[in-house]
């Protein structure tokens, strides 16, 4: 190789700057950081605040949740359309450019939760969070310290004081996206890690994982089986040698295994290796063991237990760019377009999902992911919407699992009026979707697709759904439809317009009995029922809601009901840029104004 430049190649500096700028958003923030350090040209280009297209695109890419069905696809009719967090950032910081907004979003945002405290699902307990005021804790009868009644900051990574804010590169542990299931929250960080709150994301319920009596290979259980099978054998008349462990079926263990644990000799601590593996595969937020990093099953090297030191390897953990949660499961999409699913109470490790007979991710990548109550749904380029509510189990030595999927017919258009614009997931593989024509809402259920006949004005732009609610956004109004047990109550169609001057709901989330709305100005509105005074509305103590502010009334013995959308008081100077809700809890990303 010579030092001479090949005349056939062009240096990137030689390209017109607008071409360079339009390619930059395809890079990751870290790539950009490295690029800005390579030479003066890039350093200047990237630190210039006026290179606003780059930073806007980058903001959209990192914080726009474009790979989940939280946001619709971009379309010709929605060119002006911005994601929820972009819209609010523009309204909150009208005088800042996108470079500064990107910086704000990266450095000054924090995760807040409120509602039921059970299983430490809020990411803390009543005693573990110094940000939690005692006056914001609801005590209910025998269940003391049952819920938190105001948005409360979750103990998170300390902001790295050495992080250089001027580089504009987002810190590693910035909260990019939050989502919520029936029992926990999932949090995606800018470094592509997924964290989950509390001690269980399933609540013990089966998700869309392996079918009954089929289950993923469990390295821990295999370890114990292996250990027990090394115990001495017994001779039983008529049955030959049997293992002496008593807890695993005889047939399952090869009888030729010879004992290396001779009776009478001391043995190492039976739990030592288990404890080591457990230690490697459990990572928590510093000083907060109520938020745990969720790993994938491919981190277990070759599923062999012999060598504990290399048994679990964090380096195999992929980098995630999107998350979505169902009731007892969640899925994540990686930067390599690989999908992982956490969906079983018997395994905390995400299973890699493959789709037999579908073309490769190189030609047909996954563009969006979404979760319904008990199933998952993705949009694959040129294939369309794909749903599944079970998958094959992961076997020893194999890292993939195959989804038992169905393709929703006529959803694969790449352009034109029939191209899918947005979709929302209910229950049992039931999916609602709209197309760029914006005229019809389609309902896919039990293999049939029908159109909904609803009295809705305007062109359909976006559709979202939660456990109990569907929200429909058009270019004129927004609407709500109630859902119970997966069945849509068509008579419940109502307008979502707030009575408050200048305020419009642009994002909606709901739990079992409560609804959380987010306005374009970054205000949170909640309404519905606080079961057992769990605090999920975030409006304050029950006495305050009922007798002082008179926002709502008690219902039954311990429920609080608030009928009208009511503004949630946030800490002074804070705005909300993202909400989530599930079960009896709510969460939000707040940002300092």
Partner 1 sequence: MPVPVDFIKELPKCEHHMHLEGSLEPDLLFPLARRNNITLPDTFPKTIPQLNAKYKQFKDLQDFLDYYYIGTNVLINEIDFFELAMAYFKKINKQNVIHAELFFDPQSHTSRGIPLETVIKGFKKACTKAERDFKITSSLTMCLLRHTHPDECLQLIKDSKKYLTDGTINGLGLDSAEKPFPPDMFVECFSLAKSYNKHLNLTAHAGEEGPASYVSDSLDLLQVTRIDHGINSVQDTELLERLAKEKVLLTVCPLSNVKLNVIKKVDELPLDILLSYGNPFSLNSDDPAYFGGYIEDNYLAVHKAFPNWGYFTWGQIVKNGINTSWISKTKKEELCDKVEAIVAKWVNKISDAYAASHA
Kindly state whether residue 248 participates in binding partner 1, applying the rule CB under 8 A. Answer: yes
Gap between the Cα atoms of 470 and 480, Å rounded: 6
Gap between the Cα atoms of 488 and 247, Å rounded: 47
Kindly state whether residue 125 participates in binding partner 1, applying the rule CB under 8 A. Answer: yes
The dihedral formed by the CA atoms of 135, 140, 141 and 144, expressed in degrees to the nearest 10: -60
Shortest distance (Å) from residue 338 CB to partner 1? 25
Among residues 66, 85, 87, 120, the one that binds partner 1 under rule CB under 8 A: 120
Among residues 266, 397, 447, 573, the one that binds partner 1 under rule CB under 8 A: 266
Shortest distance (Å) from residue 396 CB to partner 1? 14
Kindly state whether residue 237 participates in binding partner 1, applying the rule CB under 8 A. Answer: yes
Nearer to partner 1, 285 or 431 (CB): 285
Kindly state whether residue 93 participates in binding partner 1, applying the rule CB under 8 A. Answer: no
Shortest distance (Å) from residue 593 CB to partner 1? 34
Nearer to partner 1, 262 or 360 (CB): 262
DSSP 534-553: --TT-S--HHIIIIIS---E
Shortest distance (Å) from residue 245 CB to partner 1? 5
Kindly state whether residue 202 participates in binding partner 1, applying the rule CB under 8 A. Answer: yes
Secondary-structure breakdown of the chain: helix, strand, coil percentages, each rounded to the nearest 5? 20, 35, 45
Shortest distance (Å) from residue 198 CB to partner 1? 9
| 310 C-beta neighbours (distance < 10 Å), count | 10
Kindly state whether residue 199 participates in binding partner 1, applying the rule CB under 8 A. Answer: yes
For 458-486, the three-class secondary structure string (H helix, E strand, C coil) is CCEEEEEECCCEEEEEECCCEEEEEEECC
Gap between the Cα atoms of 101 and 56, Å rounded: 9
Kindly state whether residue 206 participates in binding partner 1, applying the rule CB under 8 A. Answer: yes
In order of 48, 195, 307, 352, the CA distances from 128 in angstroms are: 43, 18, 36, 34
DSSP 100-148: HHHHHHHHSEEEEEEEE-GGGTTSS-TTT-TT--GGGEEEETTEEEEEE
Gap between the Cα atoms of 64 and 67, Å rounded: 8
Contact string (CB under 8 A) for partner 1, positions 150-189, x = contact: ----------------------------------------
Strands, sheet with 514-519, edge to edge from the N-terminal-most edge strand: 505-510, 514-519, 524-530, 559-567, 553-555
Kindly state whether residue 278 participates in binding partner 1, applying the rule CB under 8 A. Answer: yes
Among residues 144, 257, 310, 451, the one that binds partner 1 under rule CB under 8 A: 144
Cβ proximity of 178 and 576 under 8 Å: no
Structure tokens at 156: 């998170």
Among residues 264, 397, 447, 573, the one that binds partner 1 under rule CB under 8 A: 264
Rounded (5°) CA angle 297-291-280: 45
Task: List binders of partner 1 among 432-471 (CB under 8 A).
Answer: none
Which residue stretch of 31-39, 52-60, 195-203, 386-394 sits at the interface with partner 1 (rule: CB under 8 A)? 195-203
Shortest distance (Å) from residue 327 CB to partner 1? 13
Nearer to partner 1, 40 or 239 (CB): 239
Nearer to partner 1, 66 or 200 (CB): 200
Among residues 11, 258, 260, 269, the one that binds partner 1 under rule CB under 8 A: 269
Kindly state whether residue 283 participates in binding partner 1, applying the rule CB under 8 A. Answer: no
Structure tokens at 494: 């109502």
Among residues 17, 346, 492, 494, the one that binds partner 1 under rule CB under 8 A: 346
Structure tokens at 94: 């009208």
Among residues 142, 256, 363, 557, the one that binds partner 1 under rule CB under 8 A: 142
Cβ proximity of 291 and 129 under 8 Å: no
Structure tokens at 198: 């509390």
Among residues 233, 445, 567, 592, the one that binds partner 1 under rule CB under 8 A: 233
Kindly state whether residue 246 participates in binding partner 1, applying the rule CB under 8 A. Answer: yes
Nearer to partner 1, 232 or 255 (CB): 232
Which residue stretch of 48-56, 141-149, 466-474, 535-543 sits at the interface with partner 1 (rule: CB under 8 A)? 141-149
Kindly state whether residue 228 participates in binding partner 1, applying the rule CB under 8 A. Answer: yes
Kindly state whether residue 550 participates in binding partner 1, applying the rule CB under 8 A. Answer: no
Kindly state whether residue 118 participates in binding partner 1, applying the rule CB under 8 A. Answer: yes
Gap between the Cα atoms of 555 and 549, Å rounded: 17
Nearer to partner 1, 35 or 227 (CB): 227
- Is the torsion defined by CA of 413, 415, 419, 422 positive or negative? positive
Among residues 271, 314, 548, 553, the one that binds partner 1 under rule CB under 8 A: 271
Among residues 61, 107, 119, 459, the one that binds partner 1 under rule CB under 8 A: 119
In order of 242, 371, 379, 429, 447, the CA distances from 408 in angstroms are: 52, 15, 10, 10, 8
Kindly state whether residue 244 participates in binding partner 1, applying the rule CB under 8 A. Answer: yes
Which residue stretch of 153-161, 164-172, 247-255, 544-552 sits at the interface with partner 1 (rule: CB under 8 A)? 247-255
- Size of interface with partner 1, in residues (CB under 8 A): 58
* Burial call 383-393: b when 16+ CB within 10 Å, e when fewer: bbbbbbbbbbb
Under the rule (CB under 8 A), what is the footprint of partner 1? 118-120, 125-127, 142-145, 199-200, 202-206, 212-213, 215, 218, 220-221, 224, 227-228, 231-237, 239, 242, 244-250, 261-264, 266-271, 274-275, 277-278, 345-346
């Amino acid at each position: 190789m010579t030092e001479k430049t090949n005349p056939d190649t062009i240096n990137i500096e030689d390209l017109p700057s607008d071409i360079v700028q339009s390619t930059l958003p395809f890079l990751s923030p870290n790539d950009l950081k490295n690029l800005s350090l390579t030479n003066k040209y890039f350093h200047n280009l990237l630190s210039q605040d006026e290179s606003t297209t780059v930073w806007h695109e980058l903001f959209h890419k990192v914080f726009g949740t474009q790979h989940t069905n939280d946001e619709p696809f971009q379309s010709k009719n929605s060119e002006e359309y911005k994601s929820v967090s972009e819209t609010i950032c523009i309204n909150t910081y009208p005088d800042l450019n996108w470079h500064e907004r990107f910086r704000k979003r990266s450095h000054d945002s924090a995760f807040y939760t409120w509602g039921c405290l059970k299983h430490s699902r809020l990411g803390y307990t009543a005693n573990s969070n110094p940000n939690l005021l005692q006056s914001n804790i609801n005590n209910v009868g025998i269940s003391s310290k049952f819920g938190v009644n105001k948005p409360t900051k979750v103990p998170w990574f300390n902001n790295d004081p050495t992080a250089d804010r001027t580089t504009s590169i987002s810190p590693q542990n910035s909260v990019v996206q939050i989502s919520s299931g029936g029992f926990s929250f999932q949090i995606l960080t800018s470094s592509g890690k997924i964290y989950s709150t509390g001690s269980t994301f399933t609540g013990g319920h089966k998700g869309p994982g392996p079918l009954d009596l089929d289950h993923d290979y469990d390295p821990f259980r295999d370890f114990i089986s292996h250990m027990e099978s090394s115990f001495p054998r017994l001779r039983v008349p008529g049955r030959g040698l049997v293992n002496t462990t008593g807890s695993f079926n005889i047939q399952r263990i090869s009888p030729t295994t010879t004992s290396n644990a001779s009776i009478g000799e001391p043995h190492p601590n039976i739990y030592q290796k288990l404890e080591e593996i457990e230690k490697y595969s459990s990572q928590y937020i510093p000083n907060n063991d109520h938020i745990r990093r969720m790993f994938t099953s491919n981190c277990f090297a070759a599923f062999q237990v012999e060598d504990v030191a290399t048994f679990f390897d964090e380096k195999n953990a992929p980098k995630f760019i999107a998350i979505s949660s169902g009731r007892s499961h969640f899925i994540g999409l990686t930067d390599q377009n690989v999908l992982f699913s956490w969906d079983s109470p018997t395994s905390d490790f995400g299973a890699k999902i493959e789709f037999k007979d579908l073309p490769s991710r190189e030609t047909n990548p996954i563009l969006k992911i979404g979760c319904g109550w008990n199933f998952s749904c993705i949009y694959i380029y040129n294939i369309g919407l794909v749903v599944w509510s079970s998958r094959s189990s992961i076997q020893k030595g194999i890292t993939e699992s195959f989804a038992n999927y169905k393709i929703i017919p006529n959803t694969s258009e790449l352009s034109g009026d029939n191209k899918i614009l947005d979709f929302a997931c209910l229950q049992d593989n039931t999916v609602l979707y709209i197309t760029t024509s914006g005229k019809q809402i389609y309902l896919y259920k039990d293999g049939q697709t029908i159109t909904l006949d609803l009295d809705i004005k305007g062109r359909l732009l976006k559709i979202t759904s939660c456990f109990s609610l569907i929200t429909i956004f058009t270019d004129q109004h927004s609407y709500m439809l109630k859902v119970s047990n997966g069945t849509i109550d068509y008579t419940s169609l109502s307008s979502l317009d707030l009575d408050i001057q200048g305020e419009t709901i642009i994002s909606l989330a709901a739990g079992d009995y409560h609804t959380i709305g987010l306005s374009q100005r970054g205000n949170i509105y909640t309404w519905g029922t606080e079961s057992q005074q769990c605090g999920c509305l975030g409006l304050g103590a029950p006495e305050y809601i009922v007798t002082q502010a008179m926002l709502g009334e008690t219902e039954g013995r311990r429920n609080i009901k608030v009928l009208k959308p009511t503004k949630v008081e946030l800490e002074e100077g804070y705005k909300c840029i993202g909400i989530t809700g599930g079960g009896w809890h709510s969460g939000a990303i707040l940002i300092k104004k």
